[in-house]
Amino acid sequence: MKIKKIGVLTGGGDCPGLNAVIRAVVKSAIKKYGWEVMGFIDGYRGLVENWTIPLTDQTVSGILVRGGTILGTNNRANPFAYTYDENGKTIPPVDKSKVAVLNLKRNEMDAFIAIGGDGTLSMTQKFWEMGIPVVGVPKTIDNDLSGTDVTFGFDSALCVATEAVDRLHTTAESHHRVMVLETMGRYAGWIALRAGIAGGGDVILIPEIPYTMEKVVEAVKNRDSRGKNFTIVVVAEGAKEVGRDAVVQRIVKGSHDSVRLGGVSYKVAEIIEKETEIETRVTILGHLQRGGIPTPFDRWLATRYGAAATELLSEGKFGKMVSLRGTEIGNISLKEAVGSLRLVDPKGEEVKTAIATGVSFGNE
């Protein structure tokens, strides 16, 4: 198959490093292969609505260090269950995948690259099953895609969370308080775990290790009895008590992942303060973890991913997702990549390290 023109889109939530991937795709496509590149605006919505923009070497100049995405993104637009009418209002789901394919043909695109998390890449896999040449690039701050060791965006989010733990230490010590920090991550505890370890958190609560409030309170009291008059608790938004579900903040209709987690930190803080009589404060980082400039690691990884994605297209290796294994860039089938989530191993080395240094996970 001879490729002359490709498309690229960014789907799902924004995160640092998206622009670095776009830049690498455009530069390598033009300079190495002589292809034309077009971007779809606002993720898969742009593919359905035929919202496009030409991408040139000039277009991507200076975007390497910028957060967000110059193409815009959308975490509700699923071409196979499309919920937008012509005025952008929500309607019952309609399959508009054939409209999306027609738009690819109208724009004379021979293939496209989709940059996103499990939701976006699941849609990309469906287009591959329809016979459309596609390649995926893994993106999520949650670091929960099983097909790769690391997703770009995670390191940037981790740096924000770790800095927050660092900053909370000073005020916790000064006022002799318990400080509860809630991080993102959905059903995976990677951000909370690594920020907690790197920042010196005393209690870390993650989805993979259900906790009991009795053990959390016990950990705080034990520190207080040893003269440690402050405690840092790092809580992943998907953390849950034994026998209970994760705390749901709201439901977003029309989204591939309609459940929005959040608020567990308030429940944890309320009980800690009641049982210990120690003033307890809550900080929820929220979208601060997804904004801002990418770290050098994420720029490096995103650039490698973007260049590797165009190389896969040039070699005719469609239906693949680029991935990082160890220090080497490779690839894996989209179907395999989105088959399961990459979660923290409760018996893994990282958890053992945290326990060895005195961290409580609220379970023992």
Q: Which residues form the catalytic set?
A: 142
Rounded to the nearest angstrom, the gap between the alpha carbon of residue 3 and the centroid of all alpha carbons in its chain is: 31
Give the number of residues written for the chain. Answer: 364
Side by side, the strands of the sheet bearing 134-138 are 52-55, 36-40, 5-10, 111-116, 134-138, 320-325, 328-333
DSSP collapsed to 3 states, the chain:
CCCCEEEEEECCCCCCCHHHHHHHHHHHHHHHHCCEEEEECCCHHHHHHCCEEEECCCCCCCCCCCCCCCCCCCCCCCHHHEEECCCCCEEEEECCHHHHHHHHHHCCCCEEEEEECHHHHHHHHHHHHCCCCEEEEEECCCCCECCCCCCECHHHHHHHHHHHHHHHHHHHHHHCCEEEEEECCCCCCHHHHHHHHHHCCCEEECCCCCECHHHHHHHHHHHHHCCCCCEEEEEECCCCECCCCCCEEEECCCCCCCEEECCHHHHHHHHHHHHHCCCEEEEECHHHHCCCCCCHHHHHHHHHHHHHHHHHHHCCCCCEEEEEECCEEEEEEHHHHCCCECCCCCCCHHHHHHHHCCCECCCC
CA 241 – CA 80 distance, rounded (Å): 35
CA angle 24, 26, 32 (to 5 degrees): 85
